Copies of this chain bind each other. A is one copy, B any other.
Amino acid sequence: MSDLLQRLRGRGWRMTSQRRVVAEVLDGDHVHLTADEVHALAVDRLPEISRATVYNTLGEMVSLGEVTELSTDGRAKRYDPNAHRPHQHLVCSGCGVIRDVHPAGDPLTDLPPDQRYGFTVSEAAITYRGLCPGCA
């Protein structure tokens, strides 16, 4: 918990109440939130915080490499605070909820050199799709 906040502080990132609240909200929940959901939760703790600041802040966390941006099929982007723990995602086609999963093995090694077409491949992401218990 608040692992993210500690990482950000450790990098000497200028801290404000808005940034702290965004980091806490992101890290404190077990599901991956959209920017608007982050804003809604942030408002509970800091009523004056603006949507623009939430968007800007999330964007900076992504630039710093401390948060990963997940874009699922035309819906709003979701933000994943576990940027340093290798994992994959399970997405519900119904409600869009995203949950982390940890299958065995490294997907990167599954792509043989003759399938790389000269690309310098640096990461591999697996997205499993289906319906969550609530939507099934």
By a beta-carbon cutoff of 8 Å, the part of chain A in contact with chain B is: 69, 71-74, 77, 88, 90, 92-93, 99, 101-105, 107-108, 110-112, 115-133, 136
Q: How far is the CA of A106 from the CA of B126 in the complex (A)?
A: 12
For this complex, 8 residue pairs linking A to B, each with C-beta atoms less than 8 Å apart, are A71-B72, A73-B77, A90-B117, A101-B111, A107-B126, A119-B132, A120-B136, A124-B126
On whether the beta carbons of A74 and B77 are closer than 8 Å, the reply is yes
Give A118's nearest chain B residue, CB to CB. Answer: B133
Give A107's nearest chain B residue, CB to CB. Answer: B126
On whether the beta carbons of B92 and A119 are closer than 8 Å, the reply is yes
| Smallest beta-carbon distance A128→chain B, Å | 5
